[in-house]
Amino acid sequence: MLSPSILIAAIVNGLLTGAVYALVALGLTLIYGVLHIINFAHGTLLTAAMFAAYFAYRLLGIDPYAAVFVLAPAFFAVGYALQRFVIGPASHGDDRNMLLVTLGLAVVIENALLFAFRADTRTIDLPYAFDGIDLGFAFLPLPRLIGFGAVFAVALVLWLIMNATDTGRAIRAVAKEKLGAELAGIEVAHIYAVTFGLGTACVAIAACLLIPSYYVNPAAGNAFVLVAFTIVVLGGMGSVPGALVGGLVIGVVESLSSLFFGESLGQIGIFLLFIVVLLVRPSGLFGARA
Amino acid sequence: MKGLVPVLAVVAVLAAVPLAGVSNVTLNFLVVALMTALAGQGWNVLGGYGGQYSFGHAAFFGTGAYITAVLQVRYGINAWLAFGLGIVGGALLGAVVGGLTFRSGLRGSYFALVTLAIAEVLRISASVAPITGAGVGTLVKLDLHVAALQFQSRAAFYWTILALVAVALIVTRQIERSRFGVWLIAVRENEDAATALGVNATAIKLAAMVISGAITAAAGCFYVQYFLFIDSGLAYGSWISIEALLTPIIGGAGTVFGPLVGALLVRGLGEGARMVTGGEAPGVDLVVYGCVLVLIIWLAPRGLIGALAQLRGRLKRPAPLVEAGHG
């Protein structure tokens, strides 16, 4: 029988990991909520951002937590451009085409990274990577604590953008009623691109939070995005609080099932949960739309 | 019979290729291209005609492959029988997956996601389960006899895969001309409207998925006989899920010859990209695939065959555009 302290440590660790999952899922759910498609390029954009954060540190000596303030706007621009000039025009307004285009982009980005950097796994060593707070029963590494706090800060900023700015109001209008919004003079293509940019910026922030305690290789983002799909489905597609709560829940579930069943079966647990939720309650725990 | 003339003509031309004295390298290229076309033809039945975009057709490919390999290696079952059971396994998996997803009313993004997740679950399971050889994979013993479904000559393998492709082409053509095919297309175009007119959309999609699963599984069965090895990444990896949807989309989804045209083009481009970079560049062929996928959707959303039909229609003038896209 496991002692309670190991169990609590696993739960705390799960919460810390889950917060970063939640951030990746936040970007995904935001895009789904407005464009009504799953962005299959989300994971590879995360990988690309992780490489950017890695090289910013290695080549320019920029601390990942400082790089956030450069990479988040830069990836906002990347996301905006991708939706405005590639995904939007290429898919002719058809949802199925949009899915395929994001999948095509994912294949291109992942393999371009593989081509450029090979399959090598890279890590960075920050001087404070192993600092942290010892609670006695659990050790909380500093990078993951910062990550946990940052996720809620990002969620707050997103909430403010959505609720207190004209752009946010326009995004919500487009999400609710595209045609009506268009008739009211909102430029839908622009709003789509802004949303895609915001989702991509979330991923860039997540990358900067991950890189101090994680590794990067051309497939690194995929693991996160599959988990993020699960979270989005669990929390309800398009629901921001759902993504936050879902992220934390999945973090804990993964941590506990790895503890009990080992690493690879822990992953299966997530996917099975995912399939069951999809089949039984596709609208998720918080979602209204099916 | 009349409707099958184009199919038979194409198959006859392809069957003559080894007689023209082409090199083994070329034959090998064509074998792999035809295998991809077969996997894509399976996707085409469900995705092209039925509009249900699966992102996890590796589930069928891998299940066919593993059944063929494991039955031979662990249970000493004859290769031909194992091959047939692999196809049956793909059909059964199609029934299970289709039964679960379509009954729950999953469409669009949700359907793509759940198929992707099922392929992932199978991949992870196969990478740890002892029966599949776990991480090591399963090796089929070399035994170059017809009874073991292994051949000395490349040409024999080529004709085997061509025969499978021919069956798939005929099945697709017959579906296209049948009432079932019309219902399936109706579901693709507007599921709610089709249901309102009395089409049992769930049953139609389920049947399409069973056929689709069987055809794509056949490609997996062939893979094992040709390469004599399978592991979880080859069987259930995303490469085959992507190629299975790429080939029909590029050639023309919902057309009989779309996957064949797409597979030859995609494989040709992949080989070309590898040659240009001297074979020293991992991933470069997939970069090309991804670009082609985006460009085709952008410039020719009905694939090459659709684009050609449209062009022909425009040259002939008052030809109705609605008819374009049928191969």
Reported as a single tens digit per residue, the pLDDT across B126-179 is: 988 888 888 788 989 888 888 888 888 889 999 999 999 999 999 999 999 999
B138-143: long-range pairs with CB below 8 Å, 24+: B138/B66, B138/B69, B138/B70, B138/B73, B138/B229, B138/B230, B138/B231, B139/B73, B139/B228, B139/B229, B140/B69, B140/B72, B140/B73, B140/B224, B140/B225, B140/B228, B140/B229, B141/B73, B141/B228, B142/B228
Report the SS3 class of residue A5.
helix
Confidence tier at B325 by pLDDT (50, 70, 90): very low
Q: What is the pLDDT of residue B309?
A: 87
With CB atoms and an 8 Å threshold, state whether A108 touches B113. Answer: no
Contact check, Cβ <8 Å, A226/B286 = no
Which sign does the torsion angle of CA B290, B296, B298, B303 carry?
negative
Quote ipTM for the complex.
0.86
Q: Using the beta-carbon criterion (under 8 Å), do A103 and B283 form an inter-chain contact?
A: no
Answer yes or no: do B294 and A272 touch at CB < 8 A.
Answer: no
Matching residue, tokens 């061509």: B162
Closest by Cβ to A268, choosing from B125, B281, B301:
B125
Query: Best mutation site among A237, A278, A280, A289 for testing chain B: the one with the most B CBs within 10 Å?
Result: A278
Quick count: other Cβ atoms within 10 Å of Cβ A231? 29
Residue range B271-296, pLDDT digits in tens: 888 888 776 777 888 888 899 999 99
Please enumerate in sequence order all residues whose Cβ is within 8 A of that of B2, keeping only pairs 6 or more positions apart, or say none.
none
Distance, first Cα to last Cα, chain A: 41
Task: Quote the mean pLDDT of chain B.
Answer: 90
**CA distance, residue A126 to nearest chain B CA (Å):** 30
Nearest CA in chain A to B104: A279
Q: Where along chain B do its domains lie? A: 2-241
Residue B326 pLDDT greater than 50, yes or no: no
Instruction: Give residue B97's pLDDT.
Output: 94
**Residue numbers in chain A where pLDDT is lower than 70:** 1-2, 263-267, 284-290
Name the helix (H) or strand (E) containing A33. helix A4-35
Q: May I ask the CATH class of domain A4-120+141-280?
A: mainly alpha
Query: Which chain A residues contact residue B121 at CB under 8 A?
Result: 268, 271-272, 275
